[in-house]
Chain A
């Protein structure tokens, strides 16, 4: 799902922000209304301010979003410097200072964190790749495809869709086969799903999707309630 750049925001900078996902919700921060403001000065300094649904949103995911936004915006042609900050959060100071100093997560939370967040990110990408199989396979199931058929299908057999592109992209980031010849249904470790395993696999994929999407709905409701007063 893509959104249009708000007035005054250079489309290239907005497009960069659209590549930044909330790792837990598997959705771009732009569509989630997490970008409070974004300006680019005449000298090419991009200033982005992010906001989240609650004061206590998990600092690890919060950090990833700020750091990813920093990387994405810094890479935009014409941007000489990026300043990305997080507003109204219990760990704003640590996160903002840490990202600006490129200190990594452990450097930003010295004494509180002992590892970077690669494993955490991977866990959630894996979840996203499971949920994505429900999005792509559900219409096929509804159209009457049975377990044998589904187990034999490749990604190329499924009609092209936003969801299919999204699934490919998640698999790619995980190092799982993303191509047309890859199985449509796949366990988290990349092994194929047998026809006997299809019903349970799809049940799990649907539950995973509902888990992520419900979490997303929760976050959207909380964000709307939190910032309703400021008229945004």
Chain B
């Protein structure tokens, strides 16, 4: 919990990792990709405030006590949700698998939620694995990489019939939160791998599931926003937005936040630190202190209230994951119904300042 000026914020970090990019874990013959991947992450890391940056060696693999300190002790996080990233073609034991995450779960059972994964190209065996993982880890969510390369296949779409089988299985198993990575990716080569159109269709067809688009589709934030404004079960995962822009490009951070608040709305935005790309501490504190700057070019964007910060930093994710929030951190239930995103447009009131 984070407390500032008498306000108490319940923090859910909806996007956290515990990875192993150490040299011992690099697959022989694939070293350049394994190194290239973590170098890429390290580039992002360097967009954070200088005093929060680590040296590259430490960045390769952190210890359980680093995690505990950075996330829970100093990072203000009450509950962290682990996303898994396998990348077994480059990392022998995987980059960040559910098994690695689970070791930490045993240590912090009340503070960690682990998300699983699936890949429709794995067919029946994948479905069985998902059932087993759901049982073992009590899964409430999964993280999907639609652009992951697998045995010569250049990625897949949520709308593939095989993917629908897995989405139906998720409904059946009560795995209601589908995090989809739509951010920097590589494959398929000849298409735009960031395309979010498949999320649009799947969200319409699976109203009982929530689709959290990680990194808000950056660098295709426009496609994401046009889609999210129409789909009540699509959410914006703020990881990479906060970490990569709040410090390095504050003006652009303000614009992106303004657009998200307008199109997606404060009820559907979820804080995620993307640890250990960046530490949560400065991001949580920064978001609590942040307000839309007084600048004429930003004048028609929504402002943040204390209530909106509480929702974005934890209450929205707590609702999706059924996490109990201490009474002192909840919002008063009598609050007026917030305006729906885009409502101004429907009413035409934004016209004058468009």
- Do A and B bind? yes
Tell me whether B186 and A113 are in contact (CB under 8 A).
Answer: no
- The residues in B between 168 and 195 inclusive whose CB is less than 8 angstroms from any CB of A are 184-193
Interface: A37 (CB within 8 A): no
The docked-state distance in angstroms from the alpha carbon of A200 to that of B191 is: 28
A211 B43 Cβ-Cβ under 8 A: no
Closest to B253 in A: A214
Determine whether B46 belongs to the interface, using a CB cutoff of 8 Å to chain A.
Answer: yes
Closest to A141 in B: B354
Given A207-B221, A214-B255, A90:B191 Cβ within 8 A: no
The interface residues of chain B lying within 8 Å CB-to-CB of A208 are 222
A90 B36 Cβ-Cβ under 8 A: yes
A53 nearest CB neighbor, chain B only: B43
Q: Taking the complex as formed, is A112 at the interface, i.e. its CB lies under 8 A from any CB of chain B?
A: yes
- Does B256 contact A210, Cβ atoms closer than 8 Å? yes
Report how far A123 CA is from B353 CA in the complex, Å: 29
Choice from A55, A115, A211, A221 contacting B220 with Cβ under 8 Å: A211
Residues of B within 8 A of A204 (CB): 222, 226
Q: Which of B191, B248, B255, B354 sits near A199, CB closer than 8 Å? A: B354
Interface size on A, residues (CB 8 A): 47
Which partner residue on chain A sits nearest B195 by CB separation?
Answer: A123
CA A105 – CA B189 in complex, angstroms? 9
* Distance of A5 from chain B, by nearest CB (Å): 28
A210 touches B221 (CB 8 A): yes
In the bound complex, do residue B348 and residue A199 qualify as a contact, i.e. CB atoms below 8 Å apart?
yes
Among A58, A106, A117, A146, chain B packs the most CB atoms within 10 A around the CB of A58
Q: Would you call B225 an interface residue if the criterion is a C-beta within 8 Å of the partner chain's C-beta atoms?
A: yes
- Are B259 and A207 in contact (CB-based, < 8 A)? yes
Cβ B193 vs Cβ A207 within 8 A: no
Interface residues of A in 186-232 (CB under 8 A from B): 198-200, 202-204, 206-208, 210-215, 217-218, 221-222, 225-226
The verdict on B47 contacting chain A, using a C-beta distance below 8 Å, is: yes
- Please determine whether B218 and A221 come into contact, CB atoms closer than 8 angstroms: no
B-side contacts of A211, CB under 8 Å: 219-222
Task: Name the contact of A207 in the complex, choosing from B36, B47, B222, B249 (C-beta under 8 A).
Answer: B222
Nearest residue in B to A147 (C-beta to C-beta)? B351
Pick from A90, A115, A217: contact of B252, CB under 8 Å: A217
A39 within 8 A of partner (CB): no
Bound complex: CA of A90 vs CA of B39, how far in Å? 12
Tell me, in angstroms, the Cα distance from A111 to B40 when the chains sit together.
26
A-contact 0/1 string along B152-166, CB 8 Å cutoff: 101000000000000
The smallest C-beta distance from A115 to any residue of chain B, in angstroms, reads 5
Residues of A within 8 A of B191 (CB): 60, 120
- Give the chain A neighbours of B218 by CB distance below 8 A: 214-215, 218
User: Across the two chains, which residue of chain A brings its CB closest to B32?
Assistant: A90
Mark interface residues in B12-48 (1 if CB within 8 Å of A CB, else 0). 0000000000000000000011001101100110110
Residue B345 lies at the interface, judged by CB distance under 8 Å to chain A: yes
Q: Does B350 belong to the interface (CB within 8 Å)? A: yes
> Which residue of A127, A203, A217, A222 has the most chain B CB atoms within 10 A of its CB atom?
A203
Besides A56-B36, A210-B255, 18 new A-B residue pairs in contact (Cβ under 8 A), listed by A number: A24-B219, A54-B40, A55-B39, A90-B32, A113-B188, A147-B351, A147-B354, A198-B354, A200-B354, A204-B226, A207-B226, A207-B263, A214-B218, A217-B248, A218-B218, A225-B43, A225-B46, A225-B47
Chain A residues close to B by CB (< 8 Å): 24, 53-56, 58-60, 90, 105-106, 109, 111-117, 120, 123, 127, 141-142, 146-147, 198-200, 202-204, 206-208, 210-215, 217-218, 221-222, 225-226
